[in-house]
Amino acid sequence: MRKSNLPKRKESKRAVWLSGALFLSFFLTSPAVNADGIQIRPLFRLGGDTAQTEQSPPIIVPKPMTLPGEKSRSDRTERVASLTPPAPPVVTTGGSLLSAPPAELSDDDNLFVTQNVSTEADAEPITTDAGPNAEPVSPSAAEKAAEPSAETAGTAVAEPAAAGADSEKPGSSLYTTGGETLEEAWNAALTASRSLSAQDYQRLGAEANVGAARGVGLPKLSNVTGVHSISKELAIETDVPLSQIMPGLPDMTLNTPVTDKDFATTTTALTVPIYMGGRVLNMIEAAEAASCALGAGRQISEQDLKYEVAQTYFLVLRVRHLYEVAAEAEKTIAEHEKDAQRLLDNGIVTKNVILAAQVAHANAKQDLIKAENAVRISQAAYNRLLWRPLDTEVNIADVDIPGLSGDLEALTSQAVRHRPELAALSHKSRALAAKSRVYRADRLPQVAAIGSYDYIENSHLNENSLFTGSLGVAWTPFDGGVSRNRQTAAEYEAMSVTREYEEAESKIRLQVYRCWQEEQETRDRVATAEKAVASAEENLRVVNRGFKEGLTNHTEVLDAQTMLTLARSNLANASYDAVLATYHLQRATGQL
């Protein structure tokens, strides 16, 4: 009669549970390594009266921001969908405020645009000169901008004469001297920027990729457990030649079972990599370099945003001054119209004089209306960058013209050292070089030590469990050229990025030179414009007095007023061009 296998089945179940418990205890008690390569304590420590627990610091994910006046994020979505980029205003010859943008970037400024710094390697967190282990920038962090250096005393931005009392003002904030500074505007824009926040999340993901690369070289514990059912038990047939032993007896065939029809198996294995051909170190280097490239990309976006905010900030101040110029011109021409009417009533001039004065007054009102609208549009553009409602009142502080930035050669060297565009390309090249070495490791031997515990539920075996230790080598010296060609492709990409670096450096040197020349030019323009305003004011005063005395005609008065309006507009434009030129140079040197 066949022996019952019930005791062994109970033993097999206990063995399966024991294997699972061992796997769980190893997972909970084994040390781990975080993304920075620092060993941390296990979650639980076994042994002792109580189990000690330790948790790693949680990652704080910033909540989506709700802007002032929003009840929910859907309100913001509807408002953002309605935004349209406003057209900035400008001044044309003849003193009329038409539509002309402030200083814009030329084709040589294309390096100010965020470059694509991603690589085929895993994305990594971005760092700058601080190295790949620098902390990720918080989505709400706002970098303080350095004040422009001054070699000489700054010159105050020229203030045109105040507008007449009868001119309608586009907002009380136009005439305030205090208010939000440029640094405060930068902080608000950087904090509210969705693109910078998105890049911060990309950097956190890149840091996780660095941790994943480190984990490739760590021991791995695995468990495979299964329950099996076969159609019939397997047995070994053995022929016994009894006739040869004892003549007269028939031969027999013995069937010895080797498996049960239903059985379970479990295997718990610990694999410890010993040699991987340099794969792990190069994977870590590629991941860290890609992370640094992302960090440099964030710096590019941050400086681009700050420069855009500075442009819009000074655009608001510029058009407000141009509005004041238009208001003063309208007031002066209104006074001329009254003088012409008085002279007509006295029979000194003909009717065409008063008609010409009325037309000139109407044109001045047209320019004032356009200037008022330009103020509103520039304020809306400013509010958009700071994620505020477009019609929010803008109260910003005026600035002085900063001094010159310094020596051209020193500024050029500073740009080559600090421009994040060059840092991004450098990190990208390093990531590709490390990636090529990872592909090379695919053709090298891979050595690992393996220890395992195996259990087989089988009532026919004398031992159901066993421990195994082994040293394994895996080697693929030839894979059809796949790894070799991948390595070659990565090397060529790295060389391509090196050429891009050289081209970018050449363009940056040209940008610094051009911005430095613009800074010099704008200071000369301001000095010339100030003299022109003084001459135009005196000319208008003389012509007006002559007209009232009947010594000059009305066309000379209108021409003098046009020249004064143009001179004041040129002074306002030159003043804010001078301020913006300094910030443009700071952006070119990577110090904004």
Task: Answer yes or no: is pLDDT of 95 > 60.
Answer: no
Contact 560, 539 (CB under 8 A): yes
User: What is the per-residue pLDDT for 21?
Assistant: 52
- Paired with 32 in beta bridges are 40
The least confident of 16-25, 106-115, 375-384, 434-443 is 106-115
Confidence band (pLDDT; 50, 70, 90) for 234? confident
3-state DSSP assignment of residue 488: helix
Output phi, psi for 264, to 5 deg.
-125, 150
Task: Answer yes or no: is pLDDT of 148 > 60.
Answer: no
User: What is the per-residue pLDDT for 17?
Assistant: 56
Task: Answer yes or no: is pLDDT of 36 > 70.
Answer: no
Q: What angle do CA 222, 227, 229 make, to 5 degrees?
A: 145
Task: Answer yes or no: is pLDDT of 144 > 90.
Answer: no
Query: From CA 464, how far away is CA 455, in angstroms rounded?
Result: 6
Task: Answer yes or no: is pLDDT of 24 > 90.
Answer: no
Confidence band (pLDDT; 50, 70, 90) for 550? confident
Q: Which two tokens stand for residue 47?
A: 């042994």
Q: For the chain, what's the residue count? A: 592
Which residue blocks in 193-273 are alpha helix, DSSP H? 194-215, 242-245
Query: From CA 472, how far away is CA 274, in angstroms rounded?
Result: 10
Task: Answer yes or no: is pLDDT of 346 > 70.
Answer: yes
The least confident of 39-43, 354-358, 570-574 is 39-43
Output phi, psi for 213, to 5 deg.
-65, -40
| Over residues 240-247, mean pLDDT | 78
Contacts of 427 (CB under 8 A, 6+ apart): 117, 289, 290, 292, 293, 296
| DSSP assignments along 110-142, one per residue | GGGSPP----SSPP-----TT-TTSPPPPTT--
User: What is the per-residue pLDDT for 70?
Assistant: 43
3-state DSSP assignment of residue 275: strand
| Greatest CA separation for the chain | 164
Task: Answer yes or no: is pLDDT of 264 > 60.
Answer: yes
Strand locations in 6-64 (E): 32-33, 39-40, 44-45, 52-53
Task: Answer yes or no: is pLDDT of 19 > 70.
Answer: no
User: What is the per-residue pLDDT for 508?
Assistant: 97
User: What is the per-residue pLDDT for 255?
Assistant: 82
User: What is the per-residue pLDDT for 493?
Assistant: 96
Q: Which candidate, 199, 200, 195, 172, places its Cα nearest to that of 387?
A: 195
User: What is the per-residue pLDDT for 518?
Assistant: 96
The least confident of 12-16, 69-73, 246-250 is 69-73
Task: Answer yes or no: is pLDDT of 137 > 80.
Answer: no
Q: Which candidate, 134, 122, 137, 277, places its Cα nearest to that of 213?
A: 122
User: What is the per-residue pLDDT for 29?
Assistant: 45
Confidence band (pLDDT; 50, 70, 90) for 12? low
The least confident of 174-178, 229-233, 454-458 is 174-178
User: What is the per-residue pLDDT for 5?
Assistant: 46
Query: From CA 130, how far away is CA 70, in angstroms rounded?
Result: 39
What average pLDDT does the structure give for the chain?
78
Task: Give percent of the chain above pLDDT 90.
Answer: 58
The percent of the chain in helix, strand and coil, each rounded to the nearest 5, is 55, 15, 35
> Which of 201-210, 224-233, 243-252 reaches the highest mean pLDDT?
201-210
Q: Which two tokens stand for residue 290?
A: 């890609």
Pick 3 or 496 by higher pLDDT: 496
The least confident of 92-106, 279-293, 336-350, 471-485 is 92-106
Task: Answer yes or no: is pLDDT of 280 > 60.
Answer: yes
- Paired with 262 in beta bridges are 229
Pick 235 or 9 by higher pLDDT: 235
Task: Answer yes or no: is pLDDT of 105 > 60.
Answer: no
Query: From CA 223, how far away is CA 271, in angstroms rounded?
Result: 11
User: What is the per-residue pLDDT for 297?
Assistant: 95
User: What is the per-residue pLDDT for 256?
Assistant: 83
| Type of residue at 56 | S
Task: Answer yes or no: is pLDDT of 483 > 70.
Answer: yes
User: What is the per-residue pLDDT for 549?
Assistant: 83
Full strand arrangement of the beta sheet holding 446-456: 220-229, 262-275, 446-456, 465-474
CB contact burial 393-414 (16+ within 10 A = b; e otherwise): ebebebbebbbbbeeeeebbeb
Q: What domains appear along the chain, each with residue ranges and CATH number?
A: 102-214+294-440+500-588 (1.20.1600.10)
Query: From CA 373, how far away is CA 44, in angstroms rounded?
Result: 68
Contacts of 412 (CB under 8 A, 6+ apart): 509, 512, 513
Confidence band (pLDDT; 50, 70, 90) for 239? confident
| Over residues 400-414, mean pLDDT | 93
